[in-house]
Homo-oligomer: A and B are copies of this chain.
Amino acid sequence: MTKGPTPRQVARAENIARIKELALAQLAGTSAGELSLRAIARELNIVSSAIYRYFPSRDDLITALIVDAYDNLGQTLEEAGARGRRGPRRRWLDVCRAMREWALAEPHRFALVYGSSIPGYRAPRDTIAPAGRVVVAFSAPVCDELGAREPVAYGDSWSRPGRVLASQLRVSADALELDLPDAAMLAVVAAFARVIGALTLELNGHFVGGFEPADALFDALLDDEATRLGL
């Protein structure tokens, strides 16, 4: 017989979930680095040291939150970019808008993954796979579009990448299992940088007094970038 998880195991899973939940709530109020394990313990009616049965240190909790955030964002983008009757351009725009909506809805989580790294915190290996998921979802529409095309026709305005860069582009594309020619991969990275940059600026208040709300600006940037991507 298949023995299900013991009561203790489900209790543990529930507690871990609750801790992450409370941590997230706390993070929403303030921002990274302020996260207090003791405060979480208090809200959990648990003595502070008991938290360490679930997460060996504060950094481990944060890492878990980061992985969750990547996964959550990745899934959101995947859903937004799911094939439908829309063309690739429209789908890519939808993915980007979904990304912005996610970021605006949960700025603390965006900061967690694309913001400046936490005090002394070094991203462990665990985070790189889920991070890739986001990039893959981001570039999926571009891959689809180019799959149906003559690759040579792409990217007239991009100068041909040099040896080093070409090699890096190949390594990165392979690591993510993206079927993109060099120039396209380069364009994707450029687009990603622009989107992340725009969101970073918006979320950190660099548009205050100028572009706020930044909806129109963001749409204009996306529109241009989509053309640039050959969509």
Q: Which residues of A contact B (CB under 8 A)?
A: 30-34, 111, 114-121, 123, 128, 131, 157-159, 161-162, 164-165, 168, 171-172, 175, 186, 189-190, 192-198, 200-201, 203-206, 208-211, 216-217, 220-221, 223-225, 227-228
Contacts and interface: CB of A to CB of B under 8 A. Distances in A.
A120 B164 contact: no
Contacts of A198: 193, 197
Contacts of A119: 30-34
A220 B186 contact: yes
How many copies of this kind of chain does the complex include? Answer: 2
B216 A165 contact: yes
A100 to B, nearest CB: 12
A120 B216 contact: no
* For the complex of A and B, 9 pairs with smallest distance between CB atoms: A197-B197, A115-B116, A111-B116, A165-B216, A193-B197, A172-B210, A33-B33, A34-B119, A193-B198
Contact of A210 (B158, B171, B225): B171
A186 to B, nearest CB: 6
Contact of A205 (B117, B168, B217): B117
B211 A168 contact: yes
